[in-house]
A and B are shown apart, each in its own frame.
Chain A
Amino acid sequence: MMEVATYMRQRNLLDFLPNYSYFGTETGEIKENSYLLYPIRMIERLREFYVFKGIGKIQEFLRSNEDLIPILYEALGHIYRIFGPNVINFLELHSDPEESWDELFIVIKSPYPSEKARELMDRLGDEWFLNIIDKVGNRLCITEEPL
C-alpha cells in the first residue's frame, strides 16, 4: 500500500495539511515550487504558529517586507527554546498613517510571573534579537505580555 506521505506528495497535497510532519516522513519543508506563491505560502503557514491580530493588514505588510518572513519562523525556534512550549505568540501591526510608519510586533504571551518573563525576554534579546536588529530595523519588534 502506498505510503500516505507519498500519495500526498504526488498530488502536491502536503501544503494543504498544515501539520503533515505528523506523518513522520517529511522534514516539514514548505513544498512550493512556484516562485511567486512561495512567499505567500510562507505567510499563510505562519498562521499555524502566530495569532494574527488584524490578518489582512499583517499579510499585506509581510508581502511588502518578505525578508521578515524567514525571521518570523526563526523567531519561533528561539522563543520555544527559551520560553518553552506554553506560550502563545501574537503578531500585531502598529501603524502611524500620518508618518507612513508600520511596525510589526511579536507579542509573546507567557504564563510566567513578570520577573521571570522579563528575565526570559532579556535572554531572548541577548541570544537572538540583538543579533538581527540591523536586518529588521524599525520594522519588527518583540515584546512579552502575561497570558
Chain B
Amino acid sequence: MGKKYKNPPLVEALCEFQFISSQPWDITIPGLVYERIKDKFPKKEQQLGIGIQLQPTDRGVEHRIEPVPPRIQFRKEDGTALIQIAPDLLVVNQLKPYPTWKNFKSMILEDFNIYREVAKPKGFRRIGLRYINIFEFDKSRVELREYFRYYPSIPDDLPQIYTSLLVRVEFPFEDDNEILILTLGSMIPSNPNVTSLVLDIDYAMIKPEYIPLDSVCEWLEKAHKRVEDAFESSITDKSRELFEREDKG
C-alpha cells in the first residue's frame, strides 16, 4: 500500500485496453456492453473524433479534416467515472475523487470481463495503466526543483525562464515488453492566475499478446506498483506538503 494524501494531485486514473480482435468489429458491441453496465454507467455520450490529414499534392500541402468513427462513452450519474468503447478499445476512466486502488481495480476488472464476454477479443495489443496528476501553483513562476525530482535540466548559459515545457522519458521493463512513460509538462491553466503542470505516469505492456487475457489481474497489480513508485520518486517533500500527507502505508 502506498502513501495516502488528503489532497492528492491525481485528477484522473485510466486503464486502456487495446485488443487484437478475433473477428471484424461488430457495431452492436457498445450496445451489448451498455446493457450489462447501464445500472452503474447510465449516461451515454458520443465523443466525436476528428481526423486530421495533411497530404502533399502538386499544389502544396492540403489539409483534410474529417470525422472518424465516434467513441462511445458511458458515464456514472455523478460523472466521476466512465467507460469508453471504440473498435478494439476499452478504456476505464476514474476521475476525482479517486476511490482507492482496490476499488478502481475492481471496476477495471468488472468492465474488462464484460467487454471480454461480449466482444470475445483474441488478445491484448497493448494495456496501459495511467495516472494523471495536475499540480496547480498560484504564481506565474515555479522553481521546479523545489517540487519535483524529475524536471528538465537547463544549462546555466541558457535563459532560465521558459513558458512551456515537456519532458518525457521511457523506461523499459520486462525485456522491453513493457515500459514506464514518465511525462512532466506544462498545460493550459484553468485560469490565468495559476501555473499548471501535469505529471503523467503511464505503465504499459507494448508487445502484443505478451500477457494472456487471463493474467490481467496480476499485471494490474504490477503496473500499479510501478506507477506508484514512479510518482513517489518524482516529487519532493515540499510537494508532499502541498497535498498534506495523511499517513504511511
Chain A residue nearest to B12 (CB atoms) is: A36
A12 to B60, CA, bound (A): 29
Asked if A10 contacts B61 (CB within 8 A), the reply is: no
B1-21 contacts to A, CB under 8 A, are: 11-12, 14, 16
Asked if B179 contacts A34 (CB within 8 A), the reply is: no
How many residues of chain B have a CB within 8 Å of chain A?
49
Q: Which residues of B contact A29 (CB under 8 A)?
A: 49-52, 68
* A143 interface residue per 8 A CB criterion: no
* A65 interface residue per 8 A CB criterion: no
Q: Tell whether A85 pairs with B188 under 8 Å between CB atoms, given A16-B168, A29-B51.
A: no
Asked if A35 contacts B95 (CB within 8 A), the reply is: yes
Chain B residue nearest to A38 (CB atoms) is: B47
Chain A 72-102 against B: per-residue CB contact (8 Å), 1 yes, 0 no? 0110110010001110000000000000000
Asked if B50 contacts A36 (CB within 8 A), the reply is: no
Q: Tell whether A34 pairs with B130 under 8 Å between CB atoms, given A21-B54, A57-B192.
A: yes
B54-87 contacts to A, CB under 8 A, are: 54-55, 59-66, 68, 73, 82, 84
How many residues of chain A have a CB within 8 Å of chain B?
39
Query: Distance (Å) between the CB of B147 and the closest chain A CB?
Result: 20
A91 to B73, CA, bound (A): 30
Asked if A86 contacts B68 (CB within 8 A), the reply is: no
Asked if B206 contacts A77 (CB within 8 A), the reply is: no
Asked if B179 contacts A11 (CB within 8 A), the reply is: yes
Asked if A36 contacts B192 (CB within 8 A), the reply is: no
Q: Which residues of B contact A37 (CB under 8 A)?
A: 12, 132, 187, 198, 200
Asked if B63 contacts A33 (CB within 8 A), the reply is: no
Contact of B191 among A12, A44, A60 (CB under 8 A): A60
A27 to B50, CA, bound (A): 9
B residues sitting closer than 8 Å to A (CB atoms) are 11-12, 14, 16, 47-55, 59-66, 68, 73, 82, 84, 89, 91, 93, 95, 126, 128, 130, 132, 166, 168, 170, 179, 181, 187-192, 198, 200, 202, 204, 206
A residues sitting closer than 8 Å to B (CB atoms) are 9-12, 16, 19, 21-22, 27-30, 33-38, 40, 42-45, 48-49, 56-57, 59-60, 63, 70, 73-74, 76-77, 80, 84-86
